[in-house]
Amino acid sequence: MRTANVASGEHRAEPAGDAMQLARARNKIRVGAVVTSSMVNPGRVADRLSEVLKRRVLLRTYSAYARVVDAVSEGDVDLAWLPPVAYVRARRLACVELLATVERDGKPAYASALLARPGLVRSTSDFEGRRAAWVDNWSAAGYVIPRRMLRERGVSPDLTLKAQGFVGTYDAVFDALASGTADIGASFCQIDASGRIVRRPWTDPFDIVAVSDPIPGDTFCAARTADALLVEDVREAIEHPAMRNVMAELGGSRLVVGNPAHYDGLERELFSAD
């Protein structure tokens, strides 16, 4: 049996004559998410969601995105926060419906920067025999997209690079590059309309080999097994001002209505042969 940590938020419904509204208020909503930041308080997130959705929210936190996808596909949760790669994997299983995309810094997309130790990579031939540090195979900006950027430059990651390894976090990628245990890596970043990097999480003077086109943001999805009335309520709440309180807990700016077509390119990349 799958285990998950659970935080709940209680909402006490005001007296009302509408039986359906009362029934909705008594319903529990199970939300699945991976919480990797110590700055996120699952209990507060559940409370904020309960306030917006007018139902009791049970926030189930998992140790890996694969477990959240499993939970959605098996009907263990009604809603889920999924990053781009987890979303396209889940929709390949036909088990989710995209409701919203997380917008950060005023944009519903971000980018990937392909990084190298200073002075190592000046041309395509310089990738031969290099060692790469990637986040994990569920990371769009830290694995899927930078490998595409390499192929666009005539470099086959699996044939050209000497070694590739998953290190788990972006900070670990930066440490590997700074220490010399890896020669190339990648990170998410924020770009402006001209493609210039305006925000980045690394401070070391790494060379920026390439910057990707925009990557669609994290998603808020409904399980295909979720109650139709619940999905309707969530759709109505996506752009409600109070939803900003939820996003403030999660580190995003707001939710915008999701467009599944924005993730088609990422899905093709993820499931294409190298």
* 14 has pLDDT over 80: no
User: Where does residue 267 fall: left (phi above 0), alpha (psi -120 to 50 degrees), or beta otherwise?
Assistant: alpha
CA 215 – CA 97 distance, rounded (Å): 19
Q: How confident is the model at residue 42, as a pLDDT? A: 85
Strands (E), 117-233: 131-134, 163-166, 184-191, 197-199, 207-211, 215-216, 219-223
Q: How confident is the model at residue 41, as a pLDDT? A: 84
Binned at pLDDT 50, 70 and 90, residue 13 comes out as: very low
Per the CB < 8 A criterion, the answer to whether 62 and 32 are in contact is yes
Q: How confident is the model at residue 39, as a pLDDT? A: 63
| pTM tops 0.85, yes or no | no
Reading the block at residue 204, the tokens are: 């070391």
Q: How confident is the model at residue 239, as a pLDDT? A: 82
Closest C-alpha to 238, from 37, 133, 102? 102
Q: Which residue has the higher pLDDT, 5 or 66?
A: 66
Reading the block at residue 186, the tokens are: 């990648």
In the chain, residues under CATH classification 3.40.190.10 are 5-104+217-271, 109-215
pLDDT mean across residues, the chain? 85
One CATH from 3.30.1490.190, 3.20.20.80, 3.40.50.10190, 3.40.190.10 for 5-104+217-271: 3.40.190.10
